[in-house]
Amino acid sequence: MKITRNYLLAIFFAYFISFLFANDTTFSAETPNSDVTAKSSQESPVLLVKKDEDTVIYRKDIIIRSHELKAEPKKDKGTEEFKTIEKPIEKKQETPSLDIVDKYFKEGRKYEARNILSDLFINKKIPEKQREIKELLDKLNEELIFSSLPTPDATMYTVQPGDIMARIAKQFNTNYELIIRINNKSPTRLNIGDKLKILTGKTKILISKSDFTLTLLLNDHYVKQYRIGTGKNDKTPVGTFEVKNKMKEPTWYSPNGGIFPYGHPENILGTRWMGFKDKPDLYGYGIHGTTLPDSIGTASSNGCVRMLNSDVEELYDFVTLDTEIIIQR
């Protein structure tokens, strides 16, 4: 009877364990040696009943010992530990002071002084000194830009037999009017052997609607700043444009369909026109002179940028086709 009872208990115990595994039960058990965490597999467990009273249960579950979960991963031989490399803290670049500019002046390094002042002015790095910096820049550029003295931004060209201004200008991708202006030369008279200063590089225009200013750059350095008028009711567009065409003594084609040649009382374009390349929904914009000088410094145009005639004529000489124009608020 004892054997039968034990046999029945073993069968009952086996069925009970089988029932637990059949329902995918997760269980944990403690042993004297280690903690074991196990999860049953999707397959039914295999149960075997040995002789006597011992019941042994075999299963295909993956067993993970809990102490192994807490342990650090083993390192392969020959491998090195990975160390976190901290990125060095970059030092904030200090704004050059006017002292270095004064030092360059004393050393006769006017070109370097101009470039530092240009960066300070364009990026407004010393706001309280903007007016003073502009005055220094204008004084420097009278010599570096608006004179025939050699500078790093220019090439000195020797006039050859048969040369004409237009041909020389085309050779250097500039305007003959600019060569005439900075060399103070007659447009029709050249002497063989004459030295001509020819500015080289790329021009760019920065327009600030809020300040009513137009800043001319050469090779990203300040050349000159002009006062302007802009469009009423915020009509002057913001963005990046390029010069599409240039015209002296332009005819005005009014929005109402009127055509007014240069000199006509209703022609408001002044002495020069520099038109922007059209964009979707943005066409007919440009920079021009004005017959209304009192409108400079105000928002009163139909969307174009107005300048005094003397200023727009000077700007016109610098600007080439495809010159970049950036208009900001």
Per-residue confidence (pLDDT) for residue 73, from 0 to 100:
52
Measured at the alpha carbon of residue 147, what is the angle toward residues 272 and 204, in degrees to the nearest 5? 50
For 1-48, how does the pLDDT look when each residue is reduced to its tens digit (9 = 90+)?
Answer: 544 555 555 555 555 555 444 444 443 334 344 343 344 444 444 444
Which H helix or E strand runs over 2? helix 2-22
| Average pLDDT score over the chain | 82
Q: Which of 67, 221, 264, 304 is the catalytic position?
A: 304
> pLDDT exceeding 70 applies to what percent of the chain?
71
Enter the pTM of the model: 0.71
pLDDT band of residue 188 (cuts 50, 70, 90) is confident
- Residue 281: CB atoms within 10 Å: 6
Averaged pLDDT for residues 209-217: 98
Which of 93-102, 122-131, 188-197 has the weakest average pLDDT? 93-102
Task: Give the pLDDT score at 93.
Answer: 58
Average pLDDT over residues 47-65: 47
Provide the β-strand partners of residue 252.
260
Tell me if 199 sits within 8 A of 267, measured CB to CB: no
Confidence category of residue 50, pLDDT binned at 50, 70, 90:
very low
What percent of the chain is modeled with pLDDT above 90? 67
Are 186 and 175 within 8 A, CB to CB? no
Q: Please compute the mean of the pLDDT values over residues 85-108 and round it to a whole number.
A: 76
pLDDT of residue 187: 84
Amino acid at 43: E
Q: Count the alpha carbons within 13 Å of 130 in the hemisphere toward its beta carbon.
A: 8
Helix, strand, coil share of the chain (percent; to 5)? 30, 25, 45
Does 288 qualify as catalytic in the annotation?
A: yes
- Range in 6-20, 226-240, 256-270, 305-319 with the lowest mean pLDDT: 6-20
**The pLDDT of residue 140 is above 90:** yes
What pLDDT is stored for residue 255 in this prediction?
87
Beta bridge partners of 260: 252
304: annotated active-site residue: yes
> Is 161 buried (19+), middle (13-18) or exposed (0-12) by CB count in 10 A?
exposed
- Residue 189: per-residue pLDDT: 87
Note the pLDDT of residue 142. 97
Q: Is the pLDDT of residue 328 over 90?
A: yes
Query: Which pLDDT score, from 0 to 100, does residue 98 have?
Result: 86
Structure confidence at residue 197 (pLDDT): 98
**Do 249 and 317 form a contact (C-beta atoms < 8 A)?**
no
- Catalytic-role residue among 67, 221, 264, 288: 288
pLDDT at 113: 97
pLDDT score at 52: 47
Q: Which residue has the higher pLDDT, 147 or 76?
A: 147
Per-residue burial over 121-141, b if 16 or more Cβ lie within 10 Å, else e, is bbeeeeeebeeebbebbeebb
231 Cβ contact partners less than 8 Å away, ≥ 6 residues apart: 299, 301, 302, 303, 304
Sign of the CA dihedral 237, 242, 248, 252? negative
* Residue 44: per-residue pLDDT: 46
Structural domains in the chain, CATH included, are 2-69 (no CATH), 96-144 (no CATH), 153-201 (3.10.350.10), 203-328 (2.40.440.10)
